[in-house]
């Protein structure tokens, strides 16, 4: 047998690696339902940590702020990143392309602490300028976090859209144009549906990156902009609380739902047979 | 045509210039500035004296050069990042092999299992390690239950916990490029080696390994680059005295309010990371 003659430590290695990746997550999910005050100690089944989470005003407020910031940042990221990816894939060698590409890719490779610090220093300088010239005292907060997260998301969206456009069959668009469709109609009826999965993936990715980020937010936020991860981080600094496990379970649930939805979306898309 | 192009290019150009290029320029400027007492706590690098500018900046660079512990933090970060990336590769290689050799219809599911931990919240995952590793925690309970140790061993806030948390957080980054490299590999090459009498291990060593080396290098760098600046995991799992670059930058900025020094550390980190970033981009462009 061919397969038998191939080096096959893969299966065990895969099981080991997946076990390592998932063990703490599964334990977290189980012990989130434990009544015991001490985390990862079984004290009988209970929903008390979910109830205490639901009663925690500060947590809820921060979570709602995080969701709004993430949704706004993801939307901006898809719009701007989509344009950037389009330019990189379709405009050939436009003037300044190398710089444009480097700037669009920079947030992907820069360490978070460097991005966070440099954005904060910019915001502080901008605040000083606004006050000096217009007498306007701008505060840092949710808005500056949104700008930072949109910048990070833009970079991912540009890569995804550019990659999707690169594999696209141009003849589909040409056919539509030959049949008399104007450029905007071609874009709306042919190109947009074809790159929609990449746009959706970019939105989802930017949304989760924003919802998960603590470093950028800690740097650029202000007194009125405490996001959920910032709150969780300060809780973890003094030791884990079972409430954090409950948050983990909620994240897991959301991730599972998103994955299932994604699966359904992709499945339907594949069923339509590209090019048919 | 040109107008439409400009309309597509202008918004991202403006955004990138204001929120990527300008911040880096400000970072460089503040790294050269002198510390001050105002808000923000910096003074320009020049002072006017008798109508002539007098250079007063660059103090942060002096401090970096003279006080060895900032550079020691760089070395410690470098060591931690190298160890993390190597451990990730070691774990990721067999995983990628398992995924690449699974039936194609199962590959997506397996890849999703590798990627899904990313979507379960970074902080709750690190928090889980805190709960599992602490003195009276789950891992110590299991160790004592098995009779391997008699009293709880200190696991949390050690270098081991730091490495464990880092590998756990970054492992998927190493798996992805390796899966891509292994699935691109033509299986007939390995079969040819086998037909010529190579044992499976020899075929792997002489054919598969060299051909997937660029993928392995990409995976290594994809872990190494962010690990160099990681700040949250060392803070939550590592020993309190372990000073890594990210933490030093964080503390100089938030605790000591020495903005020029924090900016100088950031600039140095940026310079250190440029070669690996360039190497990674070259590997990706292949």
Interface predicted TM-score (ipTM): 0.89
Most confident of A134-138, B38-42, B117-121, B245-249: B245-249
Select the residue from B123, B152, B212 to test the A interface by mutation, using most A Cβ atoms within 10 A. Answer: B123
A99 pLDDT band, cuts 50/70/90, is very high
* Phi, psi at B34, each rounded to 5°: -95, 145
Selecting from B22, B120, B187 the residue whose C-beta is nearest the C-beta of A251 gives B120
Q: Which has the closest alpha carbon to B17: A203, A18, A112, A99?
A: A99
- E strand or H helix at B52: strand B52-55
With beta carbons less than 8 A apart as the criterion, state whether A224 and A142 touch: yes
The reported pLDDT for the residue numbered A40 is 80
Residue A160, pLDDT above cutoff 50: yes
pLDDT in tens, A168-224: 888 888 899 899 888 888 989 899 999 998 999 899 889 999 999 999 999 999 888
Residue A263, pLDDT above cutoff 80: no
Chain A residues with CB-CB distance to B188 below 8 A: none
3-state SS, residue B49: strand
Q: How far apart are CA B85 and CA A233, in angstroms?
A: 25
The reported pLDDT for the residue numbered A203 is 94
pLDDT in tens, A237-252: 887 678 888 999 998 8
The reported pLDDT for the residue numbered A240 is 67
Q: Which has the closest alpha carbon to B259: A138, A128, A161?
A: A128
With beta carbons less than 8 A apart as the criterion, state whether A228 and A59 touch: yes
- Strands B34-35 and B42-43, bridge-based pairing: antiparallel
The verdict on a CB contact (< 8 Å) between A17 and B194 is no
The reported pLDDT for the residue numbered B160 is 92
**Alpha carbons within 13 A on the beta-carbon side of A131:** 11
Selecting from A86, A229, A237 the residue whose C-beta is nearest the C-beta of B8 gives A86
The verdict on a CB contact (< 8 Å) between B98 and A110 is no
A1 pLDDT band, cuts 50/70/90, is very low
The reported pLDDT for the residue numbered B39 is 64
Q: Scanning every residue of chain B, which has its alpha carbon at the shortest distance from the alpha carbon of A100?
A: B13
Q: How far apart are CA B5 and CA A99, in angstroms?
A: 17
The verdict on a CB contact (< 8 Å) between A118 and B26 is yes
Q: How far apart are CA B98 and CA A9, in angstroms?
A: 8
Chain B (134-163) residues lying within 8 Å, Cβ to Cβ, of chain A: 134, 136-138
The reported pLDDT for the residue numbered A275 is 37
Residue A4, pLDDT above cutoff 90: no
The reported pLDDT for the residue numbered A9 is 59
Strand partners, A108: none
Per-residue tokens: B180 = 């891509």
The reported pLDDT for the residue numbered A271 is 43
DSSP state at residue B118: G
Q: How far apart are CA A9 and CA A24, in angstroms?
A: 24
Selecting from B117, B122, B235 the residue whose C-beta is nearest the C-beta of A22 gives B117
Q: What is the pLDDT averaged over residues B242-270?
A: 90
Residue A7, pLDDT above cutoff 80: no
Architecture of domain A58-272: Orthogonal Bundle (1.10)
Q: What is the pTM of this model?
A: 0.89
Domain limits of chain A? 58-272
The verdict on a CB contact (< 8 Å) between A110 and B270 is yes
The reported pLDDT for the residue numbered A276 is 31
Residue A5, pLDDT above cutoff 50: no
With beta carbons less than 8 A apart as the criterion, state whether A87 and A208 touch: no
Q: What is the pLDDT averaged over residues B122-133?
A: 91
Chain B (43-82) residues lying within 8 Å, Cβ to Cβ, of chain A: none
B265 compared with B186, residue with greater pLDDT: B265
Q: What is the pLDDT averaged over residues B44-52?
A: 72
Q: How far apart are CA A165 and CA A153, in angstroms?
A: 18
In sequence order, the 6+-apart residues with CB closer than 8 A to the CB of A243 are A49, A52, A53, A56, A59, A235
Helical H segments across chain A, by residue range: 10-31, 48-54, 57-90, 97-109, 112-134, 142-166, 170-178, 183-186, 192-212, 215-220, 228-237, 242-271
Percent with pLDDT over 90 in chain A = 49
Residue A6, pLDDT above cutoff 70: no
């Amino acid at each position: 047998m061919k397969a038998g003659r191939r080096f096959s430590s893969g299966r065990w290695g895969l099981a080991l690696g997946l076990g390592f990746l998932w063990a703490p997550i599964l334990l977290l999910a189980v012990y989130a339902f434990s009544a015991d005050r001490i985390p990862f100690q079984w004290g009988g089944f209970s929903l008390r940590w979910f109830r205490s989470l639901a009663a925690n005003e500060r947590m809820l407020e921060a979570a709602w702020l995080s969701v709004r910031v993430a949704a706004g940042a993801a939307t901006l990221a898809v719009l701007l990143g989509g344009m950037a990816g389009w330019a990189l894939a379709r405009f050939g060698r436009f003037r300044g392309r190398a710089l444009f590409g480097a700037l669009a890719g920079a947030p992907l490779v820069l360490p978070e602490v460097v991005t966070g610090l440099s954005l904060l220093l910019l915001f502080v300088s901008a605040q000083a300028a606004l006050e000096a010239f217009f007498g306007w005292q701008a505060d840092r907060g949710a808005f500056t976090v949104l700008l930072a997260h949109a910048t990070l998301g833009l970079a991912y969206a540009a890569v995804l859209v550019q990659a999707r456009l690169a594999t696209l069959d141009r003849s589909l668009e040409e056919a539509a144009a030959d049949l008399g469709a104007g450029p905007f109609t071609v874009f709306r009826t042919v190109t947009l549906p074809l790159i929609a999965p990449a746009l959706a993936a970019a939105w989802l990715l930017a949304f989760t990156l924003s919802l998960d980020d603590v470093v950028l937010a800690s740097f650029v936020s202000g007194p009125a902009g405490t996001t959920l991860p910032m709150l969780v981080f300060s809780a973890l600094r003094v030791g884990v609380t079972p409430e954090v496990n409950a948050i983990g379970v909620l994240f897991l649930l959301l991730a599972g739902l998103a994955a299932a939805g994604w699966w359904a979306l992709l499945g339907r898309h594949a069923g339509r047979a590209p090019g048919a | 045509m040109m107008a439409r192009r400009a309309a597509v290019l202008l918004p991202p150009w403006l955004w990138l210039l204001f929120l990527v290029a300008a911040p880096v320029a400000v970072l460089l400027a503040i790294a050269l500035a002198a510390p001050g007492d105002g808000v923000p706590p910096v003074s320009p690098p020049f002072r006017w004296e008798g109508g002539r500018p007098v250079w007063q900046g660059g103090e942060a660079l002096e401090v970096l050069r003279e006080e060895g512990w900032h550079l020691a933090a760089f070395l410690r970060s470098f060591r931690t990042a190298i160890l993390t990336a190597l451990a990730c590769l070691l774990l990721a290689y067999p995983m990628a092999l398992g995924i690449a050799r699974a039936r194609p219809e199962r590959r997506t599911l397996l890849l999703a299992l590798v990627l899904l931990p990313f979507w379960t919240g970074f902080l709750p995952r690190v928090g889980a390690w805190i709960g599992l590793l602490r003195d009276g925690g789950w891992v110590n309970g299991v160790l004592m239950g098995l009779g391997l140790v008699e009293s709880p061993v200190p696991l949390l806030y050690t270098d081991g916990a730091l490495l464990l948390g880092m590998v756990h957080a970054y492992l998927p980054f190493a798996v992805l490029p390796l899966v891509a490299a292994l699935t691109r590999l033509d299986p007939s090459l390995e079969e040819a080696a086998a037909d010529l009498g190579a044992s499976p291990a020899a075929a792997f060593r002489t054919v598969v390994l060299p051909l997937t080396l660029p993928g392995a290098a990409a995976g290594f760098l994809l872990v190494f680059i962010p690990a160099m600046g990681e700040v949250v995991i060392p803070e939550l799992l590592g020993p309190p005295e372990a000073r890594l670059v990210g933490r030093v930058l964080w503390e100089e900025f938030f605790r000591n309010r020495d903005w020029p020094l924090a900016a100088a550390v950031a600039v140095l980190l940026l310079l250190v990371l440029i070669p690996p970033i360039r190497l990674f981009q070259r590997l990706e462009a292949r």
